[in-house]
Amino acid sequence: MSSQTSSQGRQRFGLVDFVRGAAILGVVLYHLIWDLRLFQFTRHDPIFDPLWLAFAKVLLASFLLLAGVSLVLAHRDRIHWRPFWKRFGILLGAALLVTVGTYIAFPDGYVYFGILHALAVFSLIGVFFVRAPMWLVIGLGVFFIAAPFGFHSDFFNSRWTSWIGFWTVEPYTQDLVPLFPGQGFVLLGIALVRIMLSQKLGVRILGLRSKRLWYRFFEKAGRWSLIIYMVHQPILFGILTPLANWLQPGKVDVAVQAEIFQSNCLNYCVNPVDDGTPTRGADTARCLAYCSCATEQMVQNNLFAVATSAEMNAQQSAAFDAIPRLCQAMAGAGASDGGNGEGEMPAPDDSGS
């Protein structure tokens, strides 16, 4: 998903295509695991797994850094506005398709500023820094990345403002890549490749190639990364949906699902994940009280039988929405002798597990 091609009569750098290919294939792998969990072929949930969460963050940072790298490689002699606007239009159109598609599939959590939206906006900003003073590029890059650690406001919790990145409660959406810190990685990518291009060794590293089949496969995937990103989920859904309807992997004992749900809930609540979300990391006693309550509500309202919020009836939807408020109140009362009363409990996901 490069923000700009470097092929209009200019040199392609093999290592850049290779890294981009590795990143897009990593995205396919991550989404495959996520889809298998959605269709209940596996009990493993990457959303609650620190290793998978770290993997997802590395993939995101890679694409943003590569966006900055690609801007420099495409415009280092001068800004080529015609191909830039063409690529910008392609990214924007693809982003709108993602918004429409996810609104149909996940109306409560559709993508309104995901990776493609971000790449379009960040490249529009980043192109003006391709030949800016290096101190400015690096300084602003560090500022964009560091700012979310020192500032948060409820004003940025809505969909209209959350894309900026200073929320206090992370909005519910399938994908969100905010301006802060996202733009910072693009700027650092610009700085990194400018430094490499100024050194003979850096140019040689960027131009690394191999005739090995697997290396060439990754390179080719990097060149077609946007197409792969757009089609891989429809293909995966097209394969997994009929398989799930045929095999019905979700038909397991409710007690097993409840045990898995409570285990995931406790893991998510007790073990904080450093992603800037201030609602995690409550004490163990409150977490146990909250997750026990949430599990009981899920069982009583038959919520393990539905895969998404769109499949809930009115009663189930009301019960599901009430879980965070009800169980936080019960957790506060149930752990008053051992809890510290700080933090909030995580809401259950809408997959029923």
Residues 222 and 279 in one domain: no
Residues 178 and 66 in one domain: yes
Instruction: Report yes or no on 5 lying in a domain.
Output: no
Residues 52 and 180 in one domain: yes
Note the pLDDT of residue 47.
Answer: 78
Residues 129 and 101 in one domain: yes
Note the pLDDT of residue 286.
Answer: 85
Instruction: Report yes or no on 40 lying in a domain.
Output: yes
Q: Residue 102 in contact with residue 55, Cβ under 8 Å?
A: no
Other Cβ atoms within 10 Å of 337 Cβ, number: 6
Residues 329 and 295 in one domain: yes
Residues 73 and 131 in one domain: yes
Residues 156 and 281 in one domain: no
Residues 85 and 161 in one domain: yes
Largest CA distance in the chain: 71
Instruction: Report yes or no on 200 lying in a domain.
Output: yes
The token duo for 333 is 């009362």
Question: Among 244, 265, 291, which residue terminates a domain?
Answer: 244
Residues 125 and 233 in one domain: yes
Residues 161 and 262 in one domain: no
Classify burial at 165, counting beta carbons within 10 Å of its beta carbon; exposed 0-12, middle 13-18, buried 19 or more: buried
Mean pLDDT is lowest, of 152-161, 175-184, 258-267, for 258-267
Confidence band, pLDDT 50/70/90 cuts, at residue 1: low
Residues 221 and 325 in one domain: no
pLDDT in tens, 296-339: 988 888 887 776 666 778 788 888 888 888 888 887 765 444 44
Instruction: Report yes or no on 342 lying in a domain.
Output: no
Greater confidence (164 vs 341) lies with: 164
pLDDT in tens, 48-90: 788 999 999 999 999 999 999 999 999 988 999 999 999 999 9
Please state, in angstroms and rounded to a whole number, the distance separating the CA atoms of residues 136 and 130. Answer: 11
The token duo for 60 is 């995101």
Please state, in angstroms and rounded to a whole number, the distance separating the CA atoms of residues 183 and 2. Answer: 14
Q: How many domains does the chain contain in total?
A: 2
Is a pLDDT exceeding 70 seen at residue 246? yes
Instruction: Report yes or no on 341 lying in a domain.
Output: no
Instruction: Report yes or no on 67 lying in a domain.
Output: yes
pLDDT in tens, 195-242: 999 999 999 999 888 989 999 999 999 999 999 999 999 999 999 999
pLDDT in tens, 32-53: 999 998 888 887 778 778 899 9
Instruction: Report yes or no on 4 lying in a domain.
Output: no
Residues of the domain holding 66? 14-244
Please state, in angstroms and rounded to a whole number, the distance separating the CA atoms of residues 25 and 7. Answer: 22
Residues 177 and 325 in one domain: no
Mean pLDDT is lowest, of 92-101, 108-117, 280-289, 331-340, for 331-340
